Amino acid sequence: MSEIILAQSAGFCFGVKRAIEMAYKQIEKKEKTYSYGPLIHNKEVTGDLEKKGLAIIESLDNIEEGAVLIRSHGVGKALYDALEEKGLGMIDGTCPFVKKIHNLVKEHHDLNEGVIIAGNSQHPEVIGINGWCENEAEIIETPQEASALELKDGQKYILVVQTTFRQSRFEEIVKELNKKNIQLEVFNTICSATEKRQTEAVALSQKVDKMIVIGDKKSSNTQKLVEICGKNCNNTVHIETICDLVLNNFLKNDKIGITAGASTPPAIIKEVVVTMSEAFDNAVQNLEGSEEITFEQMLEDSLVTLHTGDVVKGTVIQVVNEEVSVNLGYKSDGVIPRGEFSSDPTVIPSELVQPGDEIEVFVIRVNDGDGNVLLSKKRIEAQKGMEDIEVAFNEKTVVAGTVTEVVKGGLIAVVNGVRVFIPSSQVSNRFIEDLSVFKGQELDFNIIEMDRVKRRIIGGRKALVEKEISAKRAALFASIEAGSKVTGTVSRLTDFGAFVDLGGVDGLIHISEMSWGRITNPKEVLKEGQTVEVFVLDVDKEKGKISLSLKDIKMNPWNFVAEKYAVGTIVEGKVVRMVPFGAFVELEPGVDGLVHISQIANKHVVKPEDELKVGEVISVKVLEVNTEQKKISLSKRQAEAPAEEENTEAEATTEA
């Protein structure tokens, strides 16, 4: 008895199936509709559609009304523009995988990058792709053509590939192009369904005696299947329908493999398999009787069955207004509203998924009222996330979540699609007045409470933060030394100084160590959050205290006083403080000198305030400098003496 093995992925891919679904739906509307070129490379299907009213056109000439269905192979940008200019309706049946290539080509062409397409230059898909870079792409089909290709040295190029291209040949082309002196970015745009179908064909053709490949003679992917199978099985035949099959070429004990191209409808595959089964009296599992059936019925039979609550995989068709359309292999497409895409409201779907991407979704309702399947992606995330959180809770491991909201009493963080509440008392090891600083941040925390039934999940960072700080304190005290220079952040200001976070440990800058000059409030010099470089004055590891200074000892102004303020020189200074025995004058920040009351004026002075005012700038003569005791004696009277002598001489001359 012979054995008949049918490849799992034989027949319609979802892109072709989707385009045909669109065609039959459009026909039901009884509107004048055209297919721009044959919808697929299969005469049986296109013939059936033509009988039902879908006219095939090759140009828009003389088409003034109605709608045009764009086939799954896709078309160039020029046709979209022409349809819009003529005011014709459009049903876009372009395969999402092909649409993804269009977007890539246009994006990079607009950036003045060169485009290389690996594929058949006469294939409608390749012609359409080329139309998105103003037909300026280099098109190659073999490694030899890639080697001979003349490209501009140093130029940026992208390489895309026809979705039905053979993977091994594409890899050879990439290898040849990488030898050239160009900047090449490679996009492997071979359809996953095509790759799977070809991989299955290789495996199946290696273990059978005879191989049957079903598909239209013009179908590119079918021709590649024939080529692949022929390398592994010499007895490979290519048929379009059961009418092309010569049964006499098969024996009763043959092991027979069957596969089919992406444009082959299930009705034709079924007819071949059933006929082979009956001819050799060999039942084939999972196949029904061979009664006559229409293409629409076979299409319906080939679709998956969905139920509310199912978790299924689908392929992104398009993203419009942040609503994601998904092909599920069902009679209707699925829709993910933005609110069901992610638990994080800041997530923008169009930035995460593109046409052709495969995603896992949860079925909320099979019919949302508009004939679409209502889907959710965030519920999948939540299910998986809940399992991860439960493991983290039981094993007391750390999880990471992004803070999406600041609410009364704490924060909401999302961990793998699950909302976790972090009370304000658990955000840190100290009180934080403004929690909004955490919004948008990714935080590490523990799950300290969990009720899966009530979906009550509470996170906590307090113990984690304390542990981190303890580790940082130990590391810091092990390395920090008096006299070293470190960088920190001002964490808090007080009347007597400023606390600086050195990385888990706060050090204190006393107000007296903030400036060589005189300040009355730390806010004059520093502000919270400011990054500062400080000098370590003292480290007390037992008490956990670190004394800091902003003053660089090398820049102590008293180091240069002897040179700058030599005895006998006259300089200017500002009166900063009065005492009963005189006035202190600031010569520069950190350097004060004393004008004794006897040196204020050429007369008896009872109180310094009678002759001077705080803030007044005066000229003084340097009488004495003691750098060790940091004392300078000044005289206002002697600084003014020459002027007084000149005035006395002038008065005497006038009297004479």
> What pLDDT, on a 0 to 100 scale, did the predictor assign at position 646?
47
pLDDT at 518 over 80: no
125 is catalytic: yes
Residues with Cβ < 8 Å from 454, sequence gap 6 or more?
Answer: none
Cβ neighbours around 501 below 10 Å, total: 14
CA–CA separation, 633 and 72 (whole Å) = 97
> What pLDDT, on a 0 to 100 scale, did the predictor assign at position 285?
38
Task: Find the range with the poorest average confidence among 109-123, 142-156, 449-463, 587-601.
Answer: 449-463
Identity of the highest mean pLDDT range in 115-119, 162-166, 212-216, 461-465: 115-119
3-state helix, strand, coil in the chain (%, to 5): 35, 30, 35
Give bridge partners of residue 421 from the DSSP assignment.
412, 458
> What pLDDT, on a 0 to 100 scale, did the predictor assign at position 287?
34
How many CA atoms lie within 13 Å of 215's alpha carbon, on the beta-carbon side? 24
> What pLDDT, on a 0 to 100 scale, did the predictor assign at position 275?
80
Placement of tokens 């403080």 in the chain: 577
pLDDT at 220 over 60: yes
How many CA atoms lie within 13 Å of 529's alpha carbon, on the beta-carbon side? 1
pLDDT at 199 over 70: yes
Q: With cut-offs at 50, 70 and 90, classify the pLDDT of residue 295.
A: very low
Q: Give 117-153 as a DSSP string.
A: EES-TTSHHHHHHHGGGTT--EEE-SHHHHHH----T
Can you list the domains of the chain with their CATH numbers? 1-95+199-280 (3.40.1010.20), 97-190 (3.40.1010.20), 311-376 (2.40.50.140), 386-450 (no CATH), 480-553 (2.40.50.140), 557-646 (2.40.50.140)
DSSP helix/strand/coil, 351: helix
Q: What is the DSSP secondary structure assignment for residue 436, as one 8-state letter?
A: G
Q: With cut-offs at 50, 70 and 90, classify the pLDDT of residue 31.
A: confident
Task: Find the range with the poorest average confidence among 5-9, 486-490, 619-623.
Answer: 5-9
pLDDT at 293 over 50: no
> What pLDDT, on a 0 to 100 scale, did the predictor assign at position 315?
86
How many CA atoms lie within 13 Å of 426's alpha carbon, on the beta-carbon side? 20
Strand order in the sheet with 183-186: 138-140, 114-118, 156-161, 183-186
pLDDT at 13 over 80: no
Q: With cut-offs at 50, 70 and 90, classify the pLDDT of residue 381.
A: confident
Task: Find the range with the poorest average confidence among 78-82, 232-236, 496-500, 554-558.
Answer: 554-558
> What pLDDT, on a 0 to 100 scale, did the predictor assign at position 266?
81
> What pLDDT, on a 0 to 100 scale, did the predictor assign at position 272?
86
The answer to whether the Cα torsion of 14, 15, 21, 24 is positive or negative is negative
Q: With cut-offs at 50, 70 and 90, classify the pLDDT of residue 654.
A: very low
Q: With cut-offs at 50, 70 and 90, classify the pLDDT of residue 271.
A: confident
Cβ neighbours around 358 below 10 Å, total: 12
pTM over the 0.95 mark: no
> What pLDDT, on a 0 to 100 scale, did the predictor assign at position 653?
43
Tell me if 115 sits within 8 A of 131, measured CB to CB: no
Task: Find the range with the poorest average confidence among 35-49, 252-266, 410-424, 604-618.
Answer: 35-49
pLDDT digit string (tens) for 302-359? 556 777 888 888 888 888 888 998 888 776 788 999 889 987 778 899 999 888 888 9
- Quick one: average pLDDT of 173-177? 95
> What pLDDT, on a 0 to 100 scale, did the predictor assign at position 142?
94
SS (H, E, C) 29-49: CCCCEEEECCCCCCHHHHHHH
Q: How far apart, in Å, do the first and last CA atoms of the chain sit?
A: 152
The answer to whether the Cα torsion of 34, 36, 37, 39 is positive or negative is negative
Q: Which residue among 3, 21, 58, 125 is the active-site one?
A: 125
> What pLDDT, on a 0 to 100 scale, did the predictor assign at position 281?
60
Alpha-helix residue ranges (DSSP H) falling in 480-601: 561-564
pLDDT at 270 over 80: yes
**Percent of the chain at pLDDT above 70?**
93
